Amino acid sequence: MFDRRVTTNFDWTLFWLTYAIALIGLVNLVSASRPDAVRQLQWVVIGSVVLAVFLVVHYHVIGRAAYFGYAVVLAMLAGVLLFGRTGGGAQRWLPLGPVAVQPSEFAKLAVIVVLARWFSRDGRGDEPLGLADLIVPGLLAGVPTVMIMKQPDLGTALIIVFIFCAMVAIHGIRLKALLLIVGTGLAASPVVWRHLKPYQRSRLLTFMNPEADPQGTGYHILQSKIAIGSGRLFGKGFTEGTQSQLQFLPEHHTDFAFAVWGEEWGFLGAFLLLLLYFVLILWGLNIALKAKDRLGTLLAYGITAYLFLHVAINIGMVTGVLPVVGVPLVLMSYGGSSVVTTLACVGLLLNISMRRYMF
* Contacting residues toward other proteins, per CB under 8 A: 125-126, 166, 169-170, 172, 215, 225-233, 242-243, 245-248, 262-263, 266-267, 270-271, 274, 277-278, 281-282, 285, 288-294, 297, 301, 308, 312, 315-316, 319, 321, 359
Measured over the CA atoms of residue 43, residue 49, residue 55 and residue 58, the dihedral's sign is negative
Hey, what amino acid is at 168? V
Distances (CA, A) of 82 to 99, 102, 148, 151, 321: 18, 14, 13, 10, 35
User: In angstroms, rounded to a whole number, what is the distance separating the alpha carbons of residues 353 and 303?
Assistant: 13
Closer to other proteins by CB, 50 or 307: give it.
Answer: 307
DSSP assignment of 145-168: HHHHHHTT-HHHHHHHHHHHHHHH
Measured over the CA atoms of residue 24, residue 261, residue 103 and residue 297, the dihedral's sign is negative
Closer to other proteins by CB, 47 or 266: give it.
Answer: 266
Identify which of 325, 324, 313, 327 has the alpha carbon closest to the alpha carbon of residue 220: 324
Smallest separation (angstroms) from other proteins to the CB of 157: 21
Closer to other proteins by CB, 76 or 346: give it.
Answer: 346
Smallest separation (angstroms) from other proteins to the CB of 283: 11
Closer to other proteins by CB, 2 or 359: give it.
Answer: 359
Smallest separation (angstroms) from other proteins to the CB of 328: 17
Closer to other proteins by CB, 70 or 118: give it.
Answer: 118
Closer to other proteins by CB, 60 or 290: give it.
Answer: 290
Helix (H) or strand (E) holding 86: strand 85-87
Smallest separation (angstroms) from other proteins to the CB of 71: 30
Smallest separation (angstroms) from other proteins to the CB of 49: 30
Smallest separation (angstroms) from other proteins to the CB of 292: 6
User: In angstroms, rounded to a whole number, what is the distance separating the alpha carbons of residues 201 and 36?
Assistant: 30
Q: What is the dihedral angle through the alpha carbons of 282, 287, 289, 292, rounded to the nearest 10 degrees?
A: 180
